[in-house]
Chain A
């Protein structure tokens, strides 16, 4: 059967339409392309550990009493007169030196620790060393 020129034109047209529809069906209307997901990272610095520095100590006063064999009676009488129990917790002169030295060492350790804490704080918080 010979088709007319007009008929051939229409058959070609429909073939084209079918082809376009087929392509659309296969690509899922995504000829323009899906938008690409962009993944980006933002560097967020760690939260600062904003502890307050420890409250300074407030030391209470201690009164030292020196007691010798000569003034012992006088010292105990003075305590009794003042309404204080006539009892003393004593250390020798040598132990007093040791106590003074121990006291100094505790103070130095406290100072060293506080200083280290300040240096750490300065290093990690003042500059951007994070």
Chain B
């Protein structure tokens, strides 16, 4: 009888110790899982922050690029308007002028043609010459495309 009770207690004690041990093991495993999850979450947050920063930088770069292109397109409009003005300024008739001052107009037209050809070269990526870069006066610039040919020239009337 006594030995049976002792055996039951022994079994209960062993079961209790084993149960406690398993519980501790489970807690440790849970702890390890939680730690791993924490690390993953922190990494994910850091990655998200990086992505957001990159998106912000991309957005700024796109805005800057758009601004530059808009400025360029406005310059194009102005160049075309200036070209029209040169032909029609003060009711100018280039045909009549060519009849009256043939040689002078021929010289102007040839100079304009050369300037326009230079504009094409620059637009296709040619390097600026020293003279083009230094030009700040109206008399020094390429009037066909001053914004492109003479970056240091500031328009004045």
Contact = CB atoms under 8 A, between A and B. Distances in A.
Interface in B71-91: 72-73, 76, 79-80, 83-84, 87
A105 B83 CA distance: 11
Interface size bracket, A side:
35 or more
Interface in A72-130: 92-94, 96-97, 100-101, 103-108, 110-112, 114-116, 119, 122-123, 127-129
A65 B105 CA distance: 10
B89 to A, nearest CB: 12
Contacts of B87: 97, 100
A119 B62 CA distance: 9
B145 interface: yes
B18 interface: no
Nearest to A120: B65
A50 interface: no
Contacts of B93: 93
Given A114-B123, A129-B58, A129-B61, A93 B83 contact: no
B99 A110 contact: no
Interface stretch (A1-9, A18-26, A33-41, A56-64): A56-64
Nearest to B61: A123
